[in-house]
Amino acid sequence: MIGEGIQSTNQRKHSYVQDRVEVGFFTDPSVCIGCKACEVACKEWNQVPDDGFTWSGNSYDNTGHLGASTWRHVMFLEQDRQKGNQITGSMGLPVDPASPVRTDPQSDMSAAGLAKAEDPFRWVFLSDVCKHCDEAGCLESCPTGAIVRTEVGSVLVQNDVCNGCGYCVVSCPFGVIDRRPEPLPDAGGAFKCTFCYDRQKSGLVPACAKVCPTESIVFGRLDDLRARGAERVQQLQQSGYSDAQLYDPRETSVHGIHAFFLILGEPEAYGLPPKPQIPTIYLQSAWTAAIATGFGAAVFAFAAFLFFS
């Protein structure tokens, strides 16, 4: 963590791959400054092509979303909510009827007057990435074996084996993975975050975590990060962030994620499904329906044969 220098898990070398230790990312938006260093480092190390330079005009968050050429995406979320014990500024202070000068909120104005005068606002930055699910829909749907589980628990797409079928795209409950369009390099193949597996094999930290100046992105052992995340949520709640919570859907069919987040408010605001499910949970009902339909068709055909014979 910050202050540990080269002893921080974001800086020191490791042997997680050789030791087959499950690792993860813990992302804390409460300390993210929206610098996008993680996006840049990801593109530079992995030689990910640009997404085009069309200015959307909707936000400073111009990458918009994760995709085949955006493996890290810093989300800029604007909300009309109070951030912790935030003082909302001069526009949020009540006006004394006897004076045009705005007064301090601790004055003797009524509670109703204070509530009416409040104008809360918060700007949250969150660095989104592939979740590397414990039960990954993309991996289960891949017909060629291009998507594999690594020694550290991450989910890796092997571009040289991918046939571009797109089954993984529709099977991801988070909408992370996508096929790269023409005329970009390796067009047609599916791409997403590799968890910098090549760096990890050499004992290096993933590029995004390595460059994060505030350690909003923390890399390390998965069990240690989950403990750290729970502690951070408790700390924030005690500091007035009553809506702070961890997003790690371990009770759903994805059985938890290796890149989990501290979020303020509801997961839907961040484009995260509250209860993500992988498509294979519907296989039993689908096969049952198919068998019942086939049996019914056979009975109908046999009855028709007897009737017309």
- For domain 5-83+121-277, the CATH class is alpha beta
Helix, strand, or coil (residue 232): helix
Percent of the chain with pLDDT over 90: 63
Please say whether the beta carbons of 124 and 116 come within 8 A.
no
Query: What are the residue boundaries of the structural domains of the chain, listed by start?
Result: 5-83+121-277, 84-119, 281-309
Question: What element of type H or E holds 218?
Answer: strand 217-221
Contact 267, 274 (CB under 8 A): yes
Provide the whole-model pTM.
Answer: 0.81
Find all residues with CB under 8 Å of 24, minimum gap 6, and list them. 132, 153, 219, 220, 221, 222, 225, 226, 257, 258, 259, 260
CA-based torsion, 119, 125, 126, 128: positive or negative: positive
What is the predicted pLDDT for the residue at 98?
54
The pLDDT tens digits of the residues spanning 159-181 come to 999 999 999 999 999 999 999 98
Amino acid letter for position 276: P
Q: How far apart are CA 213 and CA 224, in angstroms?
A: 21
- Of 49-53, 113-117, 120-124, 172-176, which one has max mean pLDDT? 172-176
pLDDT of residue 108: 46
Mean pLDDT of 121-137: 93
Edge-to-edge strand ranges of the sheet holding 259-264: 217-221, 23-27, 259-264, 244-247
In tens, the pLDDT along 198-250 reads 999 999 999 999 999 999 999 999 999 999 999 999 999 999 999 999 999 99
Return all residues near 227 (Cβ < 8 A) that are at least 6 apart. none
Report helix, strand or coil for 217.
strand
